[in-house]
Structure 1
């Protein structure tokens, strides 16, 4: 079974949300429909990045890393052309 680490960007405030899930499509629909309390007031949201992991432990570790300063720098470099337009 795959687990996914994902990053959403709020088109309302321009901020990012990082999370993980077993079902990326369902989780994105939940965010889009306002069913997730941490993002419901920040809609609309765009899925800008995701990674697949082979187990939940790897996904949670990757999620925690992407929320650190170095993880945010990694994402900034990885998405440089997207973020700069």
Structure 2
């Protein structure tokens, strides 16, 4: 199982990523040098959105769609509708 996730950083920005273990990845983003370079300087981060996919290819396509094709407003709307 693959997860596409969105984090809200301490500075209010959003970060989108992909992971197989969300708990581990969130721990890395908040406490480890293995967290993304972007989130390491914007800690703490909190998980605000997830989607599940059965294969990496589908998850990667969705991650790209969210990261590159959606505006911040659209991302926030996505977070609100999933809550």
Report the TM-score, using the length of structure 2 for normalisation: 0.82
Point out 4+ residue stretches in structure 1 off by more than 3 angstroms: 69-74
Pairs aligned (count): 80
Partner of 2:41: 41
RMSD after superposition: 2.1
* Unmatched tracts of structure 2, length 5 or more: none
Partner of 1:63: 63
1:1-85 mapped onto 2 (5 Å cutoff): 2-11=1-10, 13-35=11-33, 36=35, 37-70=37-70, 72-80=72-80
* Unmatched tracts of structure 1, length 5 or more: none
Bigger CA radius of gyration: 1
Report the TM-score, using the length of structure 1 for normalisation: 0.80
